Amino acid sequence: MIVRVSQIGPVDAAFEAPPSKSYTHRALIAGALAAGRSRIAGPLRAADTELTARGLESLGVPIEWLPGEIVVAGCNGAFPAPGEVTIDCGNSGTTLRLLTSAALLARHPVVLTGSRRMLERPVGPLAGALHALGGDVAFTGRPGFPPIRVSGRLRGGKAAIDGSVSSQFVSSVLMAAPYADDDVELTLPATVASRSYLDVTADVMLRFGARLERRGYDWFRVKSGVPYRGITYWIEGDYSSASYLFAVAAVCGGRVTVTGLNPASVQGDRRFLDALEAMGCRVTAGTGAVTVERPGDLRGIDIDMSSSPDTVQTLAAVAAVAASPTTITGTAHLQYKESDRVGVTADTLRRMGAGVLVTGDSLTITPAPLHGVAVDPHDDHRTAMAFAVLGLAVGGMAIRDPGCVEKSFPGFWEALYGQGLL
């Protein structure tokens, strides 16, 4: 299947932000480990979050999807699966990484595997930290990569963990840590990739009742014996998904309003709005709603997006229609995502006519007259959505495998169609 995107003029559109994928993953895990039942209200039901829910169900946790909510019957830190379990995490790196530490709370070994691309995504630093804390992570194929077999016990203690490839290594240990035999103390010696996601993790943990101390992004300690408790937890709107909607106004001109967003959110992808403002857009934030308008031409900027990784491709799409070059830094770890996002983005923009320079940790886009092309997103939801948005400004764009957006934004195409943009 192919979605064809035509050029449109200035827009005047309003959207509801989909629920946060990151918060839904973490709330599912905290609820599954909690004492008592949890109600997760307004969750994201997408391919990735369903994989996490199925993984928890295979570990023995009852999960019920109801209209507008998920009910989770917590296991109080002891997964009741009666034997060894294999969890297929598909293409969800969040599912595999976050469940790896939690697997130490099962009575029997747990094998975690996934898609072909998943088997190319590293987990070595996470395995090393878990070994220091009492666990055993055996690589059944290529050393340092899934599939992995997790066994042993989360005893606690001190560990250093390298989060320069993914902050999810750190989040994984933190989320399981309340159920370690002793306190867990993590030291992070390297600069953490996507570090704002550690704020999301800490936010969920504290809301579910864990006791966590931290010193910025360098040191964390979680108190043992202070479990999660079953609560009603509301999922806020997703700034990552909303970035595509805001970008429509930036590339096409006009105005887009997105409702359902928390103006005080710790989500790092809120910074995408700062980038649009720096490029010449007008951003107005109200109670639960944000409006982006483009009153004139866009100008290029230099910006570090290391804490807002999921909006790098969206920003690259906007940069391609600006009046001057844009340099985005903090991009090195994007090669470990669902695809090599920098490589795919650079190749596609070059085929469209833009100038692109890639270095080890940066991406520079020099605008030029553009034309539409066929886009193979390489099963990466964010590639498909970013270039669909750019197609609204350029026209003649054909997005292959449009169903890959089910991973994080199942209603993406319908949202554009509903506003007359497709």
Q: Tell me, what's the pLDDT at 338?
A: 58
- CA separation for the pair 2, 259 (Å, rounded): 29
Q: Which of 128-132, 265-269, 315-319 has the least mean pLDDT?
A: 265-269
Which domains occur in the chain, in start order?
2-18+237-418 (3.65.10.10), 21-222 (3.65.10.10)
Sheet holding 11-16, edge to edge: 11-16, 254-259, 289-294, 282-285
pTM above 0.85, yes or no: yes
CA 371 to chain CA centroid, Å, is 30
Tell me if the bond preceding 67 is cis, omega within 30° of 0. no
Tokens linked to 285 = 């934030």
Residues 68-92, mean pLDDT to the nearest whole number: 97
Active site residue 310: yes
The yes-or-no verdict on residue 303 having pLDDT over 60 is yes
Q: Which of 13-22, 35-44, 185-194 has the least mean pLDDT?
A: 185-194
- CA separation for the pair 28, 209 (Å, rounded): 14
Candidate list 269, 310, 380, 401, residue with the active-site label = 310
User: Max alpha carbon distance in the chain (Å)?
Assistant: 62
Which of 110, 107, 185 lies closest to 153 in space, CA to CA?
107
- CA separation for the pair 87, 407 (Å, rounded): 17
Tokens linked to 233 = 């937890």
Q: Helices in 340-411 by DSSP H: which ranges? A: 341-352, 381-394
Residues 212-241, mean pLDDT to the nearest whole number: 97
Q: Tell me, what's the pLDDT at 308?
A: 84
Q: Tell me, what's the pLDDT at 3?
A: 97
Which of 248, 234, 236 lies closest to 15 in space, CA to CA?
248
The yes-or-no verdict on residue 306 having pLDDT over 90 is no
- Indicate the angle between helix axes 381-394 and 239-252, nearest 10 degrees: 20
C-alpha torsion sign, points 406, 408, 413, 419: positive
CA 221 to chain CA centroid, Å, is 24
Count of CA atoms in the C-beta half-sphere (13 A) of 409: 28
Count of CA atoms in the C-beta half-sphere (13 A) of 20: 29
Q: Tell me, what's the pLDDT at 341?
A: 82
Q: Which residues face 357 on adjacent strands?
A: 364
Q: Tell me, what's the pLDDT at 307?
A: 82
Tell me if the bond preceding 147 is cis, omega within 30° of 0. yes
Q: Tell me, what's the pLDDT at 332?
A: 74
C-alpha torsion sign, points 283, 193, 111, 151: negative
- Strands 219-222 and 212-215, by their bridges, are antiparallel
The yes-or-no verdict on residue 187 having pLDDT over 60 is yes
pLDDT level of residue 333 (50, 70, 90 thresholds): low
Q: What is the Cα Rg of the chain in Å?
A: 21
